[in-house]
Structure 1
């Protein structure tokens, strides 16, 4: 990936990793001048945030707190992989679900 594209989109990509509010801020920052690096990580984090919410609302409620905790740790590991890739300036999908997030949120 071109280093200028990475440098321009890195701030928005990093911001997108911090809660839903950070994701919204990154989305707004990326609206005017679409940056492919930032868009890539906004899609990844949108998917991870949806998984996190589903874990809280569904898994904890219907499958129990132990399974919910395990799923939460797995989601955190995916988040950490994504965050470390942003800091390195690499486009790296999160394992298992990252490609699905990219396909599902193509319009972003």
Structure 2
């Protein structure tokens, strides 16, 4: 098991809530340190949303909602192992 850090436990809550609220813009990815994945979500939302009248925003928001719920439903040890040790970027 990975060593638990209080900042990692706080990031779990913050990333989970931001995934639920601002998930379409990839804010939760930036909080966890996954800048390329966050940038991909942001670009798909902004540029894709322009051409599809916001349809891609709805899809990205759904993905963010699912990821936020996954973050909040994991135990702290499992969260640290998955997202800080193994560096799993998506789901």
TM-score by length of 2: 0.50
Larger radius of gyration: 1
TM-score by length of 1: 0.45
Q: Which has the higher contact order (CA 8 A, sep 6+)?
A: 2
